[in-house]
Amino acid sequence: MDVISVIRTKRDRGELSPEQIDWVIDAYTRGVVADEQMSALAMAILLNGMNRAEIARWTAAMIASGERMDFSSLSRPTADKHSTGGVGDKITLPLAPLVAACGAAVPQLSGRGLGHTGGTLDKLESIPGWRALLSNEEMLHVLDTTGAVICAAGDGLAPADKKLYALRDVTGTVEAIPLIASSIMSKKIAEGTGSLVLDVKVGSGAFMKTIEDARELARTMVGLGTDSGVKTVALLTDMSTPLGLTAGNALEVRESVEVLAGGGPADVVDLTIALAREMLDAAGIKDADPAKALADGSAMDVWRRMIAAQGGDPDATLPVAREQHVITSPSSGVLTRLDAYGVGVGAWRLGAGRARKEDPVQAGAGIELHAKPGDTVTAGQPLMTLHTDTPEKFDYALKALEGSYDIAPAGTEFTPNPIVLDRIA
């Protein structure tokens, strides 16, 4: 077996054999296949796709590259959630402690930012002292004592995906549906959760731009999970507009704490509760009310314990960027469009994301929104505040934001998209 023949097979729109898939995943994990060779294969997969059998075998090979976890010793049923990535998508932060407060155990293995989308681990690392890397024993202890844990997948869990995940981010292959599905489901199946809710984003700020592509991805992942004995359901949710009023690491943590305190933007609250209900139902917990747990402070209590258990200080002051730049409204009227992709790229260019897999991110960088579609604005009113430690990035970010919003005359009617567009089970 050699990597050139594998690349050529997919380049020429052929079907990879099970033996080819098993070999190339194992060889890449061991370093026999170089990054540039796997980049070529990933691009061929992006352009030419994979059938269901190939995707299933690719996922199984990723799982087989490492260990599998077991949560059967826990007294609670386990439920996990995964988002395919969006702009301002901080939902995991309030969701994990909320579902734990309602009686489930939430083993949330999360990732770093990919392209213009933020990463949960990057956000939480803006909390002083917080650790993303836990041993399996530490992860189980935090989960057992607090009910929820948000951490990085350990080196032993789907190590092939860990390498490929970082490579996809910097080679323009993030959007490949077979690679998205196998990446997500290899970790979730190996993780050992009993049930899984997928938040598949749709719109300009998502990797799936159309409802048809989102449904294809959702059905692929639900099928992979179900075939592996994991009760899996997917919600298709809108990502044409950023979620909430912030895009950036510390900015999103701050907003998440507001949600846990009983406030926060309505779209973030609504989606958090919708996903919590799906997770609890999948875990077989029928009598809990996540809206009540959010309002009475019990979810906040779990958040504080969870952050402290991973070395973080829940009372610490979050980082603030050294420089700000305000974008004001050029006219008065109704804000009818705020493009999630433009905001995501703008935040990424300010330092909230990375251009290379080894790049650091700025904890305080990002964009703060002062209006959302449907809001009335006046000329000169702040629309966005850009945050960065490196002011030379402002011009680059401003270019990404050109044409990213529309203002219609006062009195224009506006109907927002529903936050949940479909459900796949």
Is 82 labeled as catalytic in the residue annotation?
yes
Residues 262 and 210 occupy one common structural domain: yes
Sign of CA dihedral 33, 34, 37, 38: positive
- DSSP-assigned letters across all residues of 68-102: ----TTSSS-BEEEEE---SS--THHHHHHHHHHT
Q: E strands, 239-301, where?
A: 246-248
Q: 42 near 2, Cβ under 8 Å?
A: no
On whether both 229 and 146 belong to a single domain, the answer is yes
Answer positive or negative: Cα dihedral of 221, 226, 230, 234.
Answer: positive
Q: What is the pTM of this model?
A: 0.90
Co-location of 292 and 373 in the same domain? no
Q: Is residue 169 part of a domain?
A: no
Helix (H), strand (E) counts: the chain: 16, 13
Query: Structural domain of residue 337, as residue ranges?
Result: 323-408
Residue 161 annotated in active site = yes
Domain annotation covers residue 24: yes
CB atoms inside a 10 Å sphere around CB 192: 17
Assess whether 251 and 291 both reside in one domain: yes
Q: Is 122 a catalytic residue?
A: no
* 173-229 tens-digit pLDDT: 988 999 999 999 998 999 899 999 999 999 999 989 999 999 999 999 999 999 899
- Angle of helix 249-260 versus helix 298-309 axis, rounded to 10: 140
User: Which residue out of 39, 110, 126, 183 is catalytically annotated?
Assistant: 183
- Spans of the chain, pLDDT less than 50: none
Q: Are residues 303 and 333 in the same domain?
A: no
Q: Please report the pLDDT score of residue 47 as a whole number.
A: 97
Residues 302 and 344 in one domain: no
Would you state the pLDDT for residue 358?
Answer: 73
Q: Among residues 112, 168, 387, 393, which one is catalytic?
A: 168
State the pLDDT at residue 346. 97
Active site residue 227: no
> What length does the chain have?
425
Identified catalytic residue from 57, 82, 349, 393: 82
DSSP character at residue 312: -
Active site residue 123: no
Q: Which residue in 57, 187, 277, 387 is the catalytic one?
A: 187
Asked whether residue 9 falls in the same domain as residue 90, the answer is no
pLDDT at residue 359 in the model: 80
> What is the C-alpha to C-alpha distance for residues 250 and 255, in angstroms, rounded to an integer?
9
